[in-house]
Amino acid sequence: MLEVQNLQLTLNGNSIINGLDLHVDRGEIHGILGENGTGKTTIANLIMGTNNYKPTAGKIIFEGQDIAGLSVSQRAQKGITLAWQEPARVEGLTVRDYLALSRHNGQADQLERYLLMVGLEPAQYLDRDIDATLSGGERKRIEMASVLAMRPKLAILDEPDSGIDIVALPLLLNSIIEMNKQGSSVLLITHSERVTEISHRVSILCAGTIIRTGPPAETSLWFKDNCRTCLHINEPVDETK
Amino acid sequence: MIRYSVEKEYQGMIDAYEMAGGDKRVLQTKDVAKLVVHENRVLANDPIKGLKIETKETKSGVSVKLTVEEGAKIPRPVHLCFGLLPKEGLQEIIMKVDAKDNSEVSVIAHCIFPNAVKVIHKMDADIEIGANARFDYKETHYHGESGGIEVIPKAKVRVGKGGVWQSTFALSQGMVGKLDYDFEVVCLEKAIAELTVKVYGKGTDDIKVWEKIHLNGAGARGLAKSRVVLGDKARAEVRGETYGNAPYARGHVDCIELVNGTEAVATAIPIVSVTNGKAKVTHEAAIGSIDRKQVETLMARGLDEDRAVDVIVKGILR
């Protein structure tokens, strides 16, 4: 479904993404594990076309078409969406209207269901604005409900667990599984091994490139053993030595 | 100048109100208090128990005295409808409000100028909110597309001990023309004042907003809030002033001006002043283009850029 080939991004002379290759299958939850500063959010922006990021080189192929030249809207209309690590707040836009904007084909009661899936009581939230009165965790959960409502072909979730308390985390993970059952492929970007447990495959990101891809348990363990204790963040380990 | 019969004028006002998006049934319902004024003629004056509306037609408008009796809780909003249907004219509304102690009322004013080419609409209000009384005032304007209108609403409001004044002035339909808004509120002990202005300027609209809140009583609270969106060559200057003059008074000035165009000019002048060491007044002002991340958030759900901007603008003016 998504094929990223030799993707590169250089900003102000600094190589941020460095020949990244990534393949996400239809129906797959693909985890991307990386420490801070390895390029996780940059990948999300490049695939979605946000933040004015344009690849210096390489291809982003979605369902057979290179989408690197498309606008954010065009990519969304093709079925890609992004849940931001820190979602924007929009004064005067209610949760109800926000979810309805992205609703694919659901009825009003579906909106309530999506909120319940992320652990939010519809009666308390549907008529609230997605503004600064929401806590960071509430806003993140509403972002997830919005992606559920959209039923995208590919959901890019940038650190969906950050700012989420440990009580709500299982709900959030369940909502990602549900999203996948609804038919969405998921690119699950995180620095948490626990979050990638729900993935079908996991890739490890270092210095803007994928250095390892494999089953979740094995790859997460490798990440824990090597990346957590690495003194050379963003200087990838050369396993041939 | 064309003169309409009263029936035609009344129907014309109702039709114009409906065309502007209002629900005309509220102006036709019998158990809703209302006042309808076209130019300087009172077309309808329907008070309700606990609320008295006295009017006097003047050469250029109408003097209105609105009295809410002590302890009266008016169950449904009172509708005031002012307007001018011809292309040219002057309407001056002199408003005196006396909301007596422990009363409660919500007033919705509709100001309708659908054909204005050379129109001036002025309101001078003197408003007294009694102790523990609550007065909600919402004024919404419906203008035509020519921009040939000058709107000058001015009010002096005094809120008694424990009283509440909440007002919203909204002008986002049609061209603003020239707006010179000036509301000043004095709050006594534990009184609350919230002033909100929402304006969408386009073309060559010229907008001046001046909100002043004097927190003169202990524990008084005030919020001066403004939301202005500017496009084309519109200009706006927003002054939000809050003065903390008593212990435990709390005030805040909150101004957002969005500029959606290269030639629009936005200015914000927040003034916060404290003359009592136990008072606290804060302010925040943000002026600039529409936040790119907000736009992209909506685009990532499939909206094109223009529609995303429209949703954000409508939200901020809602």
Using the Cβ of B303 and the Cβ atoms of chain A, whether some distance falls under 8 Å is answered with yes
From B257's Cα to the closest Cα of chain A, the distance in A is: 13
Domain positions in chain A are 2-227
Residue B35, classed as helix, strand or coil, is: strand
- Tell me the torsion sign for CA atoms B298, B302, B308, B312: negative
Q: Cβ separation of B297 and A84 shorter than 8 Å?
A: yes
Nearest CB to A73: which of B293, B294, B305?
A: B305
Residues of A in contact with B297 (CB under 8 A): 84, 87-88, 90
Nearest CB to B299: which of A76, A91, A93?
A: A76
ipTM (interface pTM):
0.93
- Tell me the torsion sign for CA atoms A73, A74, A78, A82: negative
Residue in this structure with the two tokens 């002035």, named with its chain if needed: B169
The answer to whether A24 and A30 have CB atoms below 8 angstroms apart is: yes
Q: pLDDT value at position B1?
A: 38
User: Using CB atoms and an 8 Å cut-off, which of residues 4-33 of chain A contact chain B?
Assistant: none
Q: Which of A84-93, A97-106, B304-313 has the lowest mean pLDDT?
A: A97-106
Instruction: Give the closest residue to B240 by CA, choosing from B284, B274, B206, B288.
Output: B284
How far is Cα A128 from Cα A144, in angstroms, rounded to an integer? 16
Q: pLDDT value at position A127?
A: 95
What HEC string does B231-276 produce?
ECCCEEEEEEEEEECCCCCEEEEEEEEEEECCCCEEEEEEEEEECC
Nearest CB to A101: which of B298, B316, B317?
A: B298
B16 falls in which pLDDT band (50, 70, 90)?
A: confident
Q: pLDDT value at position B318?
A: 85
Q: What is the mean pLDDT of residues A58-71?
A: 96
Share of chain B above pLDDT 90, in %: 85
Please name the residue of chain B whose CA is at the shortest distance from the CA of residue A100. Answer: B301
For chain A, what is the mean pLDDT?
91
Q: Cβ separation of B316 and A92 shorter than 8 Å?
A: yes
Q: pLDDT value at position B2?
A: 41
Please name the residue of chain A whose CA is at the shortest distance from the CA of residue B290. Answer: A90
Q: pLDDT value at position B97?
A: 98
Q: Is the pLDDT of residue B3 over 50?
A: no
Please name the residue of chain B whose CA is at the shortest distance from the CA of residue A156. Answer: B300
Reported as a single tens digit per residue, the pLDDT across A217-232 is 999 999 988 888 776 6
From B190's Cα to the closest Cα of chain A, the distance in A is: 24
Q: Cβ separation of B311 and A93 shorter than 8 Å?
A: yes
B90 falls in which pLDDT band (50, 70, 90)?
A: very high
Q: Which of A96-105, B88-97, B185-194, B282-291 has the lowest mean pLDDT?
A: A96-105
Helices A169-181, A136-150: axis angle to 10 degrees equals 10
Helices A136-150, A95-102: axis angle to 10 degrees equals 30
Q: Cβ separation of A91 and B315 shorter than 8 Å?
A: yes
Q: pLDDT value at position A47?
A: 98
Pairing of strands B118-129, B88-99: parallel
Q: Is the pLDDT of residue B4 over 60?
A: no
Using the Cβ of A51 and the Cβ atoms of chain B, whether some distance falls under 8 Å is answered with yes
A166 versus A187: which is more confidently predicted?
A: A187
Reported as a single tens digit per residue, the pLDDT across B222-279 is 999 999 999 999 999 999 999 999 999 999 999 999 998 789 999 999 999 999 999 9
A106 falls in which pLDDT band (50, 70, 90)?
A: low
Using the Cβ of B296 and the Cβ atoms of chain A, whether some distance falls under 8 Å is answered with yes
Q: pLDDT value at position B311?
A: 94
Please name the residue of chain B whose CA is at the shortest distance from the CA of residue A84. Answer: B297
Residues of B in contact with A88 (CB under 8 A): 291, 293-294, 296-297
Q: Cβ separation of B293 and A88 shorter than 8 Å?
A: yes
What are the structure tokens assigned to B88, written together? Answer: 């040219």
Reported as a single tens digit per residue, the pLDDT across B153-202 is 999 999 999 999 999 999 998 899 999 999 999 999 999 999 999 999 99
Edge-first strand listing for the sheet containing A201-206: A80-83, A154-158, A185-190, A29-34, A201-206, A209-214
Nearest CB to B318: which of A73, A76, A92?
A: A92
Q: pLDDT value at position B193?
A: 98
How far is Cα B73 from Cα B68, in angstroms, rounded to an integer? 9
Residue in this structure with the two tokens 């409000």, named with its chain if needed: B97
Q: Cβ separation of B301 and A129 shorter than 8 Å?
A: no
The residues pairing with B92 across neighbouring beta strands, listed in sequence order, are: B61, B122
Residue type at A167? Answer: V
Nearest CB to B300: which of A76, A89, A129?
A: A76
Domain A2-227, CATH among 3.40.50.970, 3.40.50.11540, 1.20.1740.10, 3.40.50.300? 3.40.50.300
Q: Is the pLDDT of residue A235 over 70?
A: no
Residue type at B297? Answer: T
Q: Is the pLDDT of residue A237 over 60?
A: no
Please name the residue of chain B whose CA is at the shortest distance from the CA of residue A146. Answer: B301
Please name the residue of chain B whose CA is at the shortest distance from the CA of residue A151. Answer: B301
Instruction: Give the closest residue to B233 by CA, choosing from B162, B175, B307, B164.
Output: B175
Cα separations in angstroms, B52 against B44, B89, B123, B161, B311? 13, 28, 19, 23, 41
How far is Cα B220 from Cα B27, in angstroms, rounded to an integer? 36
Nearest CB to A90: which of B294, B302, B305?
A: B294
Using the Cβ of A184 and the Cβ atoms of chain B, whether some distance falls under 8 Å is answered with no
Q: pLDDT value at position B10?
A: 82
Residues of A in contact with B293 (CB under 8 A): 84, 88
How far is Cα A175 from Cα A151, in angstroms, rounded to an integer? 12
DSSP state of B122: E
Rounded (5°) CA angle B290-B291-B297? 115
From B165's Cα to the closest Cα of chain A, the distance in A is: 22
What are the structure tokens assigned to A200, written together? Answer: 């079908």
Instruction: Give the closest residue to A111 by CA, choosing from A141, A145, A144.
Output: A145
Residue in this structure with the two tokens 């202990």, named with its chain if needed: B218
Pairing of strands B41-46, B34-38: antiparallel
What are the structure tokens assigned to A228, written together? Answer: 């957590």
Q: What is the mean pLDDT of residues B37-47?
A: 92
Please name the residue of chain B whose CA is at the shortest distance from the CA of residue A82. Answer: B300
Reported as a single tens digit per residue, the pLDDT across B126-157 is 999 999 999 999 999 999 888 899 999 999 99
